Amino acid sequence: MEVLRLDRVTVTFRDRRVLDDVSLMVEQNQFIGVLGPNGAGKTTLMRAILGLIRPDAGQITVLGQSGLRGNPDIGYMPQVRSANASLRLCGRDFVAIALHGHRWGWPRLNRQAWLDVDRALELVDARDLARRPLAELSGGQRQRLLLAQALIGRPRLLLLDEPLISLDPRHQHGVIELVRQVREALGITVLFSAHELNPLLPAIDQVLYLGHGHLALGPVDEVIQPDVLSRLYGAPIDVVRQNGRVFVMSGEVDVEKEEHCHDA
């Protein structure tokens, strides 16, 4: 079943053409790693899918529907997240405030809505966090609650924009494994944006690589190739595979290890 389609889509952001006449089709129950150099447009792509940015040309459809800002079939975890203003909230209330995304404030929900909140907590194995204040939780535990927020409303497409930011390798592995389990349990499609490919390798079905307005979508062994990445980076790229890890190199520089900055 087709979940997402881009048909000759062009998107301009801040006077720069981020996507240039690109097309793709994504089917149900896929775990896709979204990668690319800084500024390649990973965040812009997700915002366009959400309907927050209108394409200059072409069409984006989710489950056959287009142009639906606030589409309940899409769950979203944004790249820039701050829970500081809500540190006094317990985990259950923090998840509940996302139930009506158009209204921010203290949750005033009926019984069915609270059941939906508890279901989301159950999906991310965060039952023990429900009564604990955010101020007492680790970064990895807060990520579980943010993922639960994204699952409110039973989405069929889940967009996760850099959920590994600021997490150590152990917590990165935990988040990826949790998302993999959720995807398998619900049969949904996940687009998981990341700065580095290697943490995602054990979990993803395909990789979506962006660069210079273009993209490549397919299995890792087909997309992570020197000719494909050289086109997307606009510079000669080598790919080195060693001990089950993949290194994307420009000369002697591992381009995925460059200092991270927020994506376009």
pLDDT digits (tens, 9 = 90+) for 174-227: 999 999 999 999 999 999 999 999 999 999 999 999 999 999 999 999 999 999
pLDDT digits (tens, 9 = 90+) for 83-95: 554 667 899 988 9
Tell me which of 154, 177, 193 is where a domain ends.
154
pTM over 0.85: yes
The verdict on 184 and 212 lying in the same domain is yes
Q: Supply the pLDDT for residue 82.
A: 54
Query: pLDDT at residue 11 above 60?
Result: yes
pLDDT in tens, 109-123: 788 889 999 999 999
Residue 103 in this model has a pLDDT that exceeds 50 = no
Residue 252 shares a structural domain with residue 173: yes
63 and 93 fall within a common domain: no
Do 63 and 186 lie in one domain? The reply is: yes
Residues 94, 50 share a domain:
no
> How much is the pLDDT for 102?
44
Q: How confident is the model at residue 100 (pLDDT cuts 50, 70, 90)?
A: low
String of DSSP letters for the chain: -EEEEEEEEEEEETTEEEEEEEEEEEESS-EEEEE-STTSSHHHHHHHHHTSS--SEEEEEETTEES-TT-TTEEEE-SS---GGGTTSBHHHHHHTTSSTT--SS----HHHHHHHHHHHHHTT-GGGTTSBGGG--HHHHHHHHHHHHHTT--SEEEEESTTTT--HHHHHHHHHHHHHHHHHHT-EEEEE-S-SGGGTTT-SEEEEEETTEEEEE-HHHHSSHHHHHHHHTS--EEEEETTEEEEEETTEEGGGSPP----
pLDDT digit string (tens) for 17-36? 999 999 999 999 999 999 99
Instruction: Quote the domain boundaries for residue 133.
Output: 81-154
Same domain, 63 and 87: no
Query: Is there a single domain that holds both residue 28 and residue 44?
Result: yes
Q: How many domains does the chain have?
A: 2
CATH code, domain carrying 161: 3.40.50.300
